[in-house]
Amino acid sequence: MTKVLIIEDDNIFGDMLSLYLTEEQYEVTRVPSAGEGLRALQEFAPNVVLLDLMLPDTEGINACAMLRGFTMVPIIVISAETKVSERILSLSEGADDYLCKPFSMQELKARIEAVLRRTNMQSANIAPPAAPSADEWTLVLDMARRLLICNGNEIETTFSEFEIIKLLYHNPGKVFSREELINAIRGIDSYINERAIDVHITNLRKKIEQNPKEPQYIKTVWGVGYKYIKK
């Protein structure tokens, strides 16, 4: 059974979410604060997290970034904040989707299933790459653990960063537009924009490039998008 962790301090709204998802055959746990959410990540081990950003113990702190530091589980932000800047910030800090309150419960379920589908299908649909030779760039994707291994070092990524590098890595030399990358990691019905893609690319370069300002592996194709160069 799919396990959903709801981090929401509004009891009425939180109980409504819990009731709906339970009736839809999800196993649900709800907590009212980010601190309790961190404990539930270990004890409950959810498959997906629904996160309200306005929590009593995270004033002045980006709750999404804090949770992302402890887990690679997909995070869907559920917030009354409708500013585009807040959406971009949450996506840049590790959120995998963003829903503005109020929203349809059916849409919430569709978003959860879309995130889980991308997570569960990645191993079955893409064959692991061949091990690089000694003179190649030693960048390897561990699909089972969703890790980048760069020169023997394990590099943690957000869900979206991993989906981007996975697509680029398995298609060396192919140019992907920002729109194609958006569709690959979000689905055409989810919110994200081209600026968020650029932020994810910048973060990936910081993690794998020897000199992120002069990237050798994730190349920008001006006016089009990005491509991966296999060394």
- Most confident range (mean pLDDT) of 16-20, 59-63, 130-134, 185-189 is 16-20
Q: Are 9 and 33 in contact (CB under 8 A)?
A: yes
Q: How far is CA 188 from the centre of its chain?
A: 15
pLDDT the model gives residue 122: 53
More confident residue, 60 or 1: 1
The tens digit of pLDDT for each residue in 78-103 reads: 988 888 888 888 888 888 899 998 89
**How confident is residue 186, by pLDDT bands cut at 50, 70 and 90?**
low
pLDDT the model gives residue 132: 43
Return the bridge partners of 3, or none. Answer: 27
Closest by CA to 81, choosing from 64, 109, 102, 56, is 102
Which positions ≥6 away from 132 have C-beta within 8 Å?
Answer: 138, 139, 140
Please, what is the average pLDDT of the chain? 83
More confident residue, 127 or 158: 158
189 has a pLDDT exceeding 50: no
SS (H, E, C) 103-150: CCHHHHHHHHHHHHHHHHHHHHHCCCCCCCCCCCCCEEEECCCCEEEE
pLDDT the model gives residue 35: 84
